[in-house]
Structures are given as structure tokens and as C-alpha cells.
Chain A
Amino acid sequence: MNLHILAALGLGLVAAPVLAAESAGAALLKSQCMSCHALAKPESASLDRLWERKGPDLHYAGSKFKQPWLEKWLQKPVRIRPADELYARHVRGTDKEDAVDESTLTPHVKLSKAEAESVAAALMALAAPDLVEKGAFKGEKVSMTMGGMFFGKLRGCGACHMAKPGSGGASGAELYTAGERLQADYIYSYIKNPQKFDPRIWMPTLGLAEPDLQRLTGYILQLDAREGK
């Protein structure tokens, strides 16, 4: 009996700092992040909401991001979508292709190491098992030649996304850092049906078969390693 109490106390001692970090993070989420990001599933799935929101939804952050990357990025935020979001609010016409209007972009708030760690911990608690299929990605290695052909010529992902810095589309997120940023099962689930995450999001559903979803997820994850970063 006494042993049980001791064990419980011991667990409490280990768990306490984690919980403290998470609750400090939760407070920061409310004070710093909530005005731009949805921390709970939005009631409205309208296109108007998508135009009004200032940053990506975070209500499924724990099923999306890798915690070490979150900690790093929150201390030194850099843009992941070349034209930010929603891209159309930050684009202007020129005599050539449309260009990003840098004057419309605002830098993301920067956190201290301690703040970043507690916010990352709080974000990781926002899981969405209904959106991300756990274990969906089978983890098989992919030929980069085949994957690259599929990503580019066969499916046209490069139209909106960059597979290497400076080359590819600008309305979607850069993907050469996706392996460092994102969980494999999230990449798989998002490609499979982006509208499951947001019914009005501007990424189309490609209707891919299972082997193709596996191949594309593997290729995107390996992009990071190939860049040798």
C-alpha cells in the first residue's frame, strides 16, 4: 500500500514539470496565438472564415507537427508558404507572373526558448485522431526518381509546392522541409483528403490510390534528407 503511494508520488514528481510546461503553454496559446489561429475546431467551415483567418488552424496541431521542429520554429519563425496564406491576399499582378506583395506580410511572433517549449508541449496536446489515420503510412523507402516523377509530371504537385528551394509553386507550403516539420501519418491523411481538414481549403483532392499515397508520402518525407540539411 505504502509502496503504491510512493510510486504515485514518484510519478507525480516526474509528471509535474511536464504538466506545468503544458499549462504555461496553454496560457500562452490563449494569450498569444488564439487571435490568429483556431485552437478548437471552428464552428463555421465557410469560405469567408478561410479568408478572415490570419494563420493556419492549430486544433489538430498534435497530430500534425513534430515537437522538436515546433520548438525550434517558434524561436526563429520563417515563412513556410512563399505567398503566406491566404495567398490571394498577398499577391499582386505584374507585367509577368503575379508576385508576392511583401508589404502585406507580417512576421510571426517570436518566443523565448522556455516559451517555445511550453507552447510546443501545449500544441502537441491538441490531437485529432478523427482526422489523422494513425499508422496509415507504412514507412517504406521510396525511389526518389520514381517519387519525383510522380510528384512532378504525373500528379502535378510541383505546380503549387516547392520540392527544392526556389523551384515550384508558391501557393502551397514548401515541401523540402516537410519531413522535419510534419508527422508522416498527417502527410498521408492530408494528401488523401485535404477537405476533411477544411472543407473549403484551396488544395484539391487528387483521388490517389493507396500505393500512390504511400509513395507520395514517402517521397515528401525523404525530400528533407535529400537536401542534406
Chain B
Amino acid sequence: MNIARAASTLFLAGSTLAAGLLFAGHAVADDAEHARATRNYDTYCAQCHGINRNGRGINSRDMSVQPRDHTDAKGMGDIPENEILKVIKEGGLAVNKSVLMPAWGNVMSDMEIREMAAYLRHVCKCGSSK
């Protein structure tokens, strides 16, 4: 009985440790993805969508269609995941939106575009990227 209890405790401790390590591993990977998406955003998206992600970029003043405010939880939450991926990769026209949103598929890889979509969910605080 005691042996069984000890084994069970050991198993639980081991599992907790393993889960902890796994979680830490995920956290490190998530941090790297988040950092990469942040930098990509500042390079490619912020020129129109703004340094504060609010749609008021340095280019926005004279644009005939205003860039989307990425902090707008309602507006962003209504856009399906596949549409976000498509508009980044293929541009606004591909999803019947403005030509002013260009296609970034020649600059960002599919992986970076997926990371960007996840990052946008983080910025708008509107739902999971999964």
C-alpha cells in the first residue's frame, strides 16, 4: 500500500514536472513567435495601421479608405480566421476589400502570416487564433 502510494506520488510529481517543462517550452516558443510577429507588424503593417495598432499610421491621413483599427475587438472579432490569413497573404482585393491593403505573400512566409494572425488576436483581445 505504502509502496503503491509512494509510486503514485512519484508519478504525479513526474507528470507535474513534465507538464511544467512542456509548458515552459511552449511559453518560450510563444515568446519567440510573438516577438517575430511584433517586429513584422512594425515593419510592414504599422506604416498604415499605426505604431499603436489603431489604424492611424503615418500613411493614413490621405488614404481614401481608412486602415482597420486592430485594437477594435468587435470589428476584428467578426473577421473569420481564414479571411485574416487570406487578406495578409493576397491583399484586400482577394477578400473584396480595399486595394490599399496590399498582398504580403512575397515578403512574409506562411508561418509568419499565421503568427501575425495570432498576434492580431492578441492586439484586439478578441478570441483565439486557433
Q: Which positions in A face B, CB cutoff 8 Å?
A: 47, 50-51, 82-83, 86-88, 91-93, 96-100, 153-156, 158-160, 167-171, 193, 195, 199-202, 204-207
Query: A86: nearest residue on chain B (CB-CB)?
Result: B43
What are the residues of chain A within 8 A of B56 when measuring CB–CB?
93, 96-98
Are A97 and B39 in contact, with the CB atoms below 8 A?
no
Are B59 and A170 in contact, with the CB atoms below 8 A?
yes
Interface string of B90-105 (1 = CB under 8 A from A): 0100000011101110
| Chain B residues bordering chain A, tally (CB within 8 A) | 30
Whether A204 contacts B106 in the complex (CB less than 8 A), given A98-B56, A159-B48, comes out as: yes
Expressed in whole angstroms, the Cα–Cα distance for A118 and B106 within the complex equals: 37
Are A88 and B106 in contact, with the CB atoms below 8 A?
no
Total contacts A-B at CB 8 Å: 96
Whether A88 contacts B42 in the complex (CB less than 8 A), given A93-B51, A98-B58, A170-B59, comes out as: yes
Q: Which of B29-69 contact A (CB under 8 A)?
A: 39-40, 42-44, 46-48, 50-52, 54, 56-64
Is B19 positioned at the interface, with any CB of A under 8 Å from its CB?
no
Closest CB in chain B relative to A192 CB, distance in Å: 11
Are A171 and B58 in contact, with the CB atoms below 8 A?
yes
Expressed in whole angstroms, the Cα–Cα distance for A91 and B57 within the complex equals: 9
Query: A83: nearest residue on chain B (CB-CB)?
Result: B58
Whether A156 contacts B47 in the complex (CB less than 8 A), given A97-B61, A98-B56, A170-B59, comes out as: no
Are A169 and B59 in contact, with the CB atoms below 8 A?
yes
Closest CB in chain B relative to A156 CB, distance in Å: 4
Is B7 positioned at the interface, with any CB of A under 8 Å from its CB?
no
Query: B48: nearest residue on chain A (CB-CB)?
Result: A159
Query: A204: nearest residue on chain B (CB-CB)?
Result: B102
What are the residues of chain A within 8 A of B106 when measuring CB–CB?
193, 195, 204-205
Is B17 positioned at the interface, with any CB of A under 8 Å from its CB?
no
Query: A167: nearest residue on chain B (CB-CB)?
Result: B62
Are A195 and B107 in contact, with the CB atoms below 8 A?
yes
Q: What are 25 A-B pairs with beta-carbon distances under 8 A?
A: A47-B39, A47-B40, A51-B39, A93-B52, A97-B50, A97-B61, A98-B46, A98-B51, A98-B56, A98-B58, A155-B99, A156-B98, A156-B100, A159-B100, A160-B59, A169-B47, A170-B59, A171-B47, A193-B106, A202-B107, A204-B103, A204-B104, A205-B107, A206-B103, A207-B103
Are B47 and A87 in contact, with the CB atoms below 8 A?
yes
Expressed in whole angstroms, the Cα–Cα distance for A83 and B46 within the complex equals: 13
Whether A100 contacts B99 in the complex (CB less than 8 A), given A86-B43, A88-B42, comes out as: no
Besides A91-B58, A204-B107, 6 more A-B contacts (Cβ < 8 Å) are: A87-B58, A93-B54, A98-B46, A153-B64, A153-B99, A204-B104
